[in-house]
């Protein structure tokens, strides 16, 4: 998915929030079509699709097969406005895009600079992933451990800090909206392919494996968003 400029994405979210808060769209009512929203806000349908996808992942709206998209029926207290604010902080798609830029380079550098102790920590993280696949919370923690161990194996403080900040956003935005994508047949294997290449000091292979892993996550995210 190609992301839209941040100001356009925010403009669509602001517009949808106003429509919800003003009562123009009430809980349980159908959301206007992508075409109608694109014309109303003066943006592309792709931009509208990204905003709607993020709102669907956060539970603010929900799709009904063959019937369109509707504002979710919430608890008696109404729609949780914090969901809208959370989406505005950054969409799951933006988080994943940033990871696709930085993490293949991290894996490549880790393959060149990892120490024996780093490899041991990555092996421990892989074992934690293996034994955690049936528990979402444990899997989330093990996933973060693996990716942070990979960054730490670069011995580059800027990369470690940057990835840590991205993963913090994952905790606040991505996981609450999406959950962790898994477990499925390839989830452990794609991580293990990255680890194997780092262990073998294959920097290009590690970079390719990390990119393939994140592309698989992206496909799962697009499938979950339904847009």
* CATH code assigned at 174: 1.20.120.530
Measured on CA atoms in the order 31, 32, 34, 40, is the torsion positive or negative? negative
Check whether residue 81 and residue 111 sit in a common domain: no
pLDDT for residue 90: 63
Pick from 107, 90, 63, 88: nearest CA to 200: 107
- Residue 23 within any structural domain of the chain: yes
Contacts of 45 by beta carbon, 8 Å cutoff, 6+ apart:
34, 35, 38
For the chain, residues with pLDDT lower than 50 are 1-5, 75-79, 85
| Structural tokens at position 118 | 């780093």
pLDDT for residue 4: 46
Instruction: Output the CA–CA distances (angstroms, integers) from residue 28 to 34, 73, 128, in the order listed.
Output: 18, 5, 42
Check whether residue 154 and residue 221 sit in a common domain: yes
- Residue 63 within any structural domain of the chain: yes
Last residue of a domain, one of 35, 54, 88: 88
Check whether residue 215 and residue 124 sit in a common domain: yes
Check whether residue 103 and residue 194 sit in a common domain: yes
How many Cβ atoms from other residues are within 10 Å of residue 78's Cβ? 11
- Residue 1 within any structural domain of the chain: no
Q: How many domains does the chain have?
A: 2
Check whether residue 80 and residue 112 sit in a common domain: no
Q: Which helix (H) or strand (E) holds 63?
A: strand 61-64
Last residue of a domain, one of 71, 88, 105: 88
Check whether residue 175 and residue 212 sit in a common domain: yes
- Residue 212 within any structural domain of the chain: yes
The DSSP 8-state label assigned to residue 75 in this structure reads B
Check whether residue 63 and residue 148 sit in a common domain: no
Domain extent, residue 207, equals: 92-225
Alpha helices per DSSP H over the chain = 6-21, 34-41, 45-57, 81-89, 92-113, 116-131, 136-152, 157-169, 175-178, 187-199, 203-225
Check whether residue 26 and residue 102 sit in a common domain: no
Last residue of a domain, one of 39, 63, 88: 88
pLDDT for residue 220: 75
Q: Return the exposure string of 134-156: e unless at least 16 CB atoms fall within 10 Å of the residue's CB, then b.
A: eeeeebbbbbbbbbbbbbbbbeb
What residues are paired with 63 via a beta bridge? 69
Say if residues 27 and 73 touch (Cβ distance below 8 Å): yes
Check whether residue 18 and residue 40 sit in a common domain: yes
- Residue 152 within any structural domain of the chain: yes
Check whether residue 143 and residue 187 sit in a common domain: yes
The DSSP 8-state label assigned to residue 174 in this structure reads I
Check whether residue 146 and residue 206 sit in a common domain: yes
Say if residues 84 and 17 touch (Cβ distance below 8 Å): yes
The DSSP 8-state label assigned to residue 64 in this structure reads E
């Amino acid at each position: 998915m190609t992301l839209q400029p941040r100001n356009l994405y925010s403009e669509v979210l602001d517009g949808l929030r106003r429509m919800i808060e003003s009562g123009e769209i009430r809980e349980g009512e159908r959301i206007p079509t992508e075409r109608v929203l694109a014309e109303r806000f003066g943006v592309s349908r792709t931009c509208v699709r990204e905003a709607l996808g993020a709102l669907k992942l956060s539970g603010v709206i929900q799709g009904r097969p063959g019937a369109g998209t509707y504002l979710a029926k919430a608890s008696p207290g109404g729609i949780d406005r914090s969901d809208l604010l959370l989406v505005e902080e950054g969409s799951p798609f933006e988080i994943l895009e940033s990871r696709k830029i930085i993490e293949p380079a991290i894996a490549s550098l880790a393959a060149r600079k990892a120490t024996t102790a780093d490899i041991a920590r990555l092996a421990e993280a892989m074992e934690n992933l293996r034994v955690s696949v049936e528990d979402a919370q444990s899997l989330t923690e093990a996933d973060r451990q693996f990716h942070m161990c990979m960054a730490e194996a670069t011995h580059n403080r800027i990369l470690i800090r940057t990835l840590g900040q991205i993963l913090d956003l994952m905790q606040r935005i991505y996981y609450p909206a999406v959950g962790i994508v898994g477990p499925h047949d390839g989830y452990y294997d794609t991580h293990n392919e990255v680890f194997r290449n780092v262990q073998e000091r294959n920097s290009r292979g590690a970079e390719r494996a990390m990119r393939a892993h994140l592309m698989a996550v992206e496909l799962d995210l697009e499938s979950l968003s339904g847009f």
